[in-house]
Amino acid sequence: MKQNLYKYILGIADNSLILGQRMGALTGHGPSLETDIACTNISLDLFGQVRNYYQYAAKLKGDNTTEDDIAFLRKEREYFNVLLVEQPDTNFAYTIARQFLFDSYHFLFLTELQKSYDITLSAIAKKSIKEVSYHKRFSSDWIKRLGDGTEISHENIQEAINELWTYTDELFHQTEEDKIMVKENIGVDVTRLKEVYYDAVNGILKEATLDIPESKWFQKGGKHGIHTEHLGYILSDLQYMQRTYPNMEW
């Protein structure tokens, strides 16, 4: 099996899986019917992408592996999403800040992944980028609304951005597999996205009358399977049925 490629795919797909799981949990509990529809839609898009990636990964793995085996039956150290996407929905500002900080990266990442020498990854990227450009517009617009809305919303979104900022640097961290994939022209060199990412993010924050966090202390670990304490609970829900009723079809 192409082990490096397999792990590389998980690294991409797990972000969509965990963020999709977070967004899906909000359905019916948002501030308005319109935001409920949008958040559910984002979740749906992300799970659609997840299925594309895992179906490809399952094919690479062979042994009758299915997309669901990969999604539901790994242990907590075997998920490789970045720490940012597993952060909780403390309030709507956190949901939007998390989405914005991830979308801004996701869009740049998929733009590059379209050029991958791996034709499947390139095809998934081409399909996904249309969805993600909408996600980015949605979350950026809300950053502006909350930042330049009322005093309370300004405070809330500033706090969320400040709190989540610590997880942004990990987006540009490379694992050994990532480096090999870049060398083979399959993977994206994320280190080269960093500057343009912060330029874009800072631009929107400024437009939203928000301060750009100055902290230089960053957290990472997700890409190596070392997560925050939140992931365990996310997996408890995600895996509940497959663990409780093993080897069944649904």
Partner 1 sequence: MSEEQIRDLEAQFEARIARDEKIEPKDWMPEKYRKTHIRQMSQHAHSEIVGMLPEGNWITRAPSLRRKVALLAKVQDEAGHGLYLYSACETLGISRDELYEQLHTGKAKYSSIFNYPTVTWADMGAIGWLVDGAAIINQVPLCNTSYGPYARAMIRVCKEESFHQRQGFEIMIKLANGTKEQKEMAQDALNRWWWPSLMMLGPTDDKSVHTEQSMKWKLKRKTNDDLRQQFIDQTVPQAELIGLTIPDPNLKWNEERGSYDFGKINWDEFWQVVKGHGPCNKERMKARVGAWERGEWVRDAAMAYASKNQERKQDQAI
Output 20 or 187, the one with its CB closest to partner 1.
20
Q: Which of residues 111-150 bind partner 1 (CB under 8 A)?
A: 144-146, 148-150
Give, to the nearest 10 degrees, the angle between helix 92-113 and helix 119-147: 150
- How many of the chain's residues bind partner 1 (CB under 8 A)? 47
Which range in 37-45, 110-118, 128-136, 224-232 contacts partner 1 by CB under 8 A? 37-45
Q: Which of residues 144-183 bind partner 1 (CB under 8 A)?
A: 144-146, 148-150, 152-153, 156
- Please give the Cα distance from 225 to 76 (Å, whole number): 7
- Please give the Cα distance from 88 to 159 (Å, whole number): 14
- Please give the Cα distance from 171 to 106 (Å, whole number): 9
If one asks whether residue 226 binds partner 1 (CB under 8 A), the answer comes out as no
Which range in 45-53, 103-111, 113-121, 161-169 contacts partner 1 by CB under 8 A? 45-53
If one asks whether residue 48 binds partner 1 (CB under 8 A), the answer comes out as yes
Given 30, 65, 127, 133, the residue binding partner 1 (CB under 8 A): 30
Output 21 or 166, the one with its CB closest to partner 1.
21
Smallest separation (angstroms) from partner 1 to the CB of 204: 14
Sign of CA dihedral 45, 90, 226, 143: positive
Smallest separation (angstroms) from partner 1 to the CB of 108: 26
Output 71 or 190, the one with its CB closest to partner 1.
71
What are the structure tokens assigned to 183, written together?
A: 């060398």
Given 67, 86, 103, 177, the residue binding partner 1 (CB under 8 A): 67
> Do 111 and 47 form a contact (C-beta atoms < 8 A)?
no
CB atoms closer than 10 angstroms to residue 141: 14
Given 8, 79, 92, 107, the residue binding partner 1 (CB under 8 A): 92
Given 1, 3, 37, 232, the residue binding partner 1 (CB under 8 A): 37
Considering only CA atoms, which of 221, 204, 220 is closest in space to residue 212?
A: 204
Which range in 1-9, 67-75, 180-188, 199-207 contacts partner 1 by CB under 8 A? 67-75
Considering only CA atoms, which of 214, 190, 223 is closest in space to residue 85?
A: 223
Considering only CA atoms, which of 243, 219, 237 is closest in space to residue 87?
A: 219
- Please give the Cα distance from 175 to 189 (Å, whole number): 11
- Please give the Cα distance from 128 to 246 (Å, whole number): 32
If one asks whether residue 3 binds partner 1 (CB under 8 A), the answer comes out as no
What are the structure tokens assigned to 237, written together?
A: 């829900």
> Which parts of this chain interact with partner 1 (CB under 8 A)?
21, 24-25, 27-37, 40-41, 43-44, 47-48, 50-51, 54, 67-68, 71-72, 91-92, 144-146, 148-150, 152-153, 156, 237-238, 240-242, 245, 248-250
